[in-house]
Amino acid sequence: MQRGSLARGEDEDRRGSAVPYSHPDQPSSTPIFIFPPKLDFYADDQGSHKQVLTLYNPFSHVLRFKVLCTAPLRYTVVEAEGLVKPNSCIDIVTRHRDIRARNYGTTDKFRIEVWEEGASRGRGGRKDVPATLHGTKPQAAERLPQVSLPWHPPSHVYSLRHGFPRTPSPWLFGLYMLAGLVSMVILILPLHGDSRSLIHENLQVSVVQKLVAAYVLGLLTMVFLQG
């Protein structure tokens, strides 16, 4: 989506008009896509005194919008009305102007009215966004220190990084040797369908078997080199 133009500076601000809501609550004929769904201002966090509402237009036609407010003297609204191009969005900047203790916990409402350009305003949609002033910003919950317990692998699990035990048991060493010999024999045997081979076809192997044998032989080579 392309972002619509956003006015800069307080001298370009246009305040939202006060609502007594003049329209009864009715289902919106035009869906309204706006984020966030609510605004939270914090007296002790100056950065939160300015909040941004983003209005999206996913449709193929131009939308006209207007922002109303139940307490216009408490807020400054940038781009309180205007147009949103097709498949784009626009930022509506709101600033709380009355950060006083008596307003803590007070919830006002912004009403965003949207209708198709050229159509009747009454046939559009509308959505209310609550705005609340809080005294203090809640602190993020302190994270408990994560204690990682040491992990000891089972005795039969070996890592190629550290190698196998330098002195493997006799039966394990014999198993390695047997696997290596079998792998070498498979690599020596001819492939299936080799007409020039004098070896019986039951002793001929496939390409896949040769690849597996080569892989096993490579692993055994790494084991002995790291050991």
Note the pLDDT tens digit of each residue in 181-219: 888 888 888 877 676 776 777 777 787 887 888 888 888
Which among 58, 83, 75, 61 has a CA at the least distance from the CA of 129?
Answer: 75
Give the span between the Cα atoms of 180 and 220, in whole angstroms: 7
pTM, entire model = 0.51
The count of other CB atoms within 10 Å of the CB of residue 8 is 9
User: What CATH topology corresponds to 2-134?
Assistant: Immunoglobulin-like (2.60.40)
Q: How far is CA 141 from CA 107, 134, 144, in A?
A: 25, 18, 9
* pLDDT computed for residue 119 by the predictor: 85
**Below-50 pLDDT ranges, the chain:** 2, 4-24, 141-142, 156-161, 164
* pLDDT computed for residue 16 by the predictor: 44
* pLDDT computed for residue 208 by the predictor: 80
Peptide bond into 170 cis (omega under 30): no
Tokens in use for 216? 């096993």
* pLDDT computed for residue 94 by the predictor: 96
